[in-house]
C-alpha cells in the first residue's frame, strides 16, 4: 500500500487511539432502510474530541519541528478547530492565538460566550476578531500580521492556514482514519455500501477520500456541504486531493467522479439550522444518546439518514461522526425544537 511520504511526516500523537465503529441499531429501526453505522471520531480524546484531533497531530508535528512556541489559527466563533488547537497548545506548553471570523450573523450571548468559546478561554487562548466571514485569504493574511507582531516580541509563531494553497497537513490525519477504518471493517467482516461525511474546509473529506482510494477501497463517499454550495465545494475537494498527492509525492488516486458532494442540507447557510438537521440531531440524541451539532455532524447525519432511508435492508451506511459537542451549548435557542417534549413515538 503506497502512501508516499506519510510515515515521514512529523506528528504529535495526542489523540485517543482507534475510535469505535458502532452499529446504530435503534436509529436504524426508526429510520428504516439500510443499517446505520458510525465511526465515532467524536470520542477522540482531548477537550471534547472531534475530527480536528487527527488533523492537528500533523500541524503540531510541523510546529514542533520548526521550534515554535506559539500557534495561531482562524475560524468561526464556534470553531471546533480553534477549540482543539487551544487544547493541543495547552498540552504542549505553547501559547495559542485564535482569530474568530464573523461567519454567523448573531449577537446571541450564548453563541458569543458559551460552547467552544468558553472552552478556549478556560484553556488560556488569546482571542482576536476578524470582521469578515467569507474571506479566507484575508483571514489568513491577518493571522500573518498577528504572527509578525509576535515575532517582533521574540516569539516563534506557527500559523495554521485554512485557505487552499498551503500544505494540507490536516488532511493527512484522515488518511490515517481511512486505514484505521479499513482495518476495522476487515476485522469485523463488515461490508459498507456508502459513507457520509461533512465537507467544509476539505481536510477531512479530501483526506479520507484520498486515503480510501489510495488503499484500494472504492466505497462510494458523499461529502455533505456545510459551508458552500456543491458547485464550489467539488473543485475545492479535487484541489485538496491534488495538494495531498503533491505533499506526499505520489500519484493522485482520486478521480473526478470519486468526488461527490451534496448541498441539500446546507441551507440556510453555515452554522444555521434547518429541519432535516434538527431532526437528525433529535434522532441521534433520542435513539442513540449520541450528540450531534448544527454546524457539521448534524448536517452530515441528515445526509446519512437520507442515504440509508433510500437503500434496502441488508445494506450498510456509515456516518463519520466529526464531533462538535461543545457547540450545542451555543445553539440553545436554535435547538428549541430538539428539546421539546414530543411523546414516545415522535423521535
**C-alpha atoms less than 13 angstroms from C-alpha of 253 in its C-beta half-sphere:** 20
How far is the C-alpha of 248 from the C-alpha of 244, rounded, in Å? 6
Q: Which of these is catalytic: 28, 32, 79, 217?
A: 79
DSSP 38: E
- Does 79 qualify as catalytic in the annotation? yes
Sign of CA dihedral 227, 134, 56, 206: positive
**Taking Cα atoms as reference points, which of 219, 218, 216, 205 lies closest to residue 177?**
205
Task: Output the DSSP codes for 196-218.
Answer: EEEESSSHHHHHHHHHHHHTT--
- Of 335, 338, 345, 344, which Cα lies nearest the Cα of 108? 335
d(CA 81, CA 100): 11
Distance CA 299, CA 273 (A): 8
| Rounded Cα gap, residues 229 and 266, in angstroms | 8
Nearest to 161 by CA among 224, 241, 45, 240: 240
Supply the residues annotated as catalytic: 79
Amino acid at each position: 500500500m503506497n502512501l508516499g511520504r506519510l510515515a515521514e511526516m512529523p506528528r504529535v500523537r495526542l489523540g485517543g487511539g482507534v475510535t469505535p465503529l458502532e452499529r446504530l441499531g435503534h436509529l436504524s429501526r426508526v429510520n428504516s432502510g439500510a443499517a446505520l453505522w458510525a465511526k465515532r471520531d467524536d470520542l477522540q480524546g482531548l477537550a471534547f474530541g472531534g475530527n480536528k484531533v487527527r488533523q492537528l497531530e500533523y500541524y503540531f508535528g510541523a510546529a514542533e519541528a520548526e521550534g515554535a512556541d506559539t500557534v495561531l489559527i482562524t475560524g468561526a466563533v464556534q470553531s471546533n478547530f480553534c477549540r482543539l488547537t487551544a487544547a493541543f497548545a495547552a498540552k504542549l506548553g505553547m501559547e495559542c492565538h485564535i482569530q474568530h471570523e464573523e461567519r454567523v450573523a448573531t449577537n446571541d450571548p450564548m453563541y458569543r460566550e458559551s460552547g467552544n468559546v468558553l472552552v478556549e478561554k478556560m484553556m488560556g487562548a488569546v482571542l482576536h476578531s476578524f470582521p469578515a466571514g467569507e474571506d479566507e485569504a484575508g483571514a489568513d493574511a491577518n493571522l500573518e500580521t498577528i504572527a509578525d507582531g509576535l515575532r517582533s516580541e521574540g516569539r516563534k509563531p506557527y500559523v495554521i492556514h485554512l485557505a487552499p494553497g498551503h500544505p494540507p497537513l490536516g488532511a493527512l490525519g484522515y488518511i490515517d482514519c481511512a486505514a484505521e477504518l479499513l482495518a476495522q471493517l476487515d476485522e469485523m467482516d463488515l461490508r459498507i455500501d456508502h459513507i457520509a461525511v461533512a465537507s467544509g474546509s476539505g481536510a477531512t473529506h479530501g483526506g479520507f477520500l484520498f486515503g480510501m482510494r489510495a488503499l484500494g477501497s472504492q466505497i462510494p463517499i458523499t461529502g455533505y456541504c456545510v459551508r458552500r454550495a456543491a458547485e464550489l465545494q467539488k473543485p475545492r475537494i479535487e484541489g485538496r486531493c491534488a495538494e495531498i498527492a503533491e505533499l506526499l509525492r505520489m500519484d493522485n488516486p482520486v478521480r473526478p467522479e470519486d468526488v461527490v458532494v451534496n448541498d441539500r442540507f446546507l441551507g440556510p447557510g453555515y452554522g444555521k439550522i434547518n429541519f432535516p438537521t434538527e431532526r437528525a440531531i433529535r434522532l441521534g440524541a433520542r435513539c442513540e444518546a449520541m450528540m450531534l451539532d448544527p454546524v457539521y455532524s448534524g448536517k452530515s447525519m441528515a445526509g446519512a439518514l437520507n442515504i440509508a432511508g433510500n437503500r434496502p435492508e441488508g445494506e450498510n451506511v456509515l456516518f463519520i461522526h466529526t464531533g462538535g459537542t461543545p457547540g450545542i451549548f451555543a445553539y440553545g435557542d436554535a435547538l428549541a425544537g430538539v428539546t421539546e417534549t414530543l411523546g414516545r413515538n415522535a423521535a
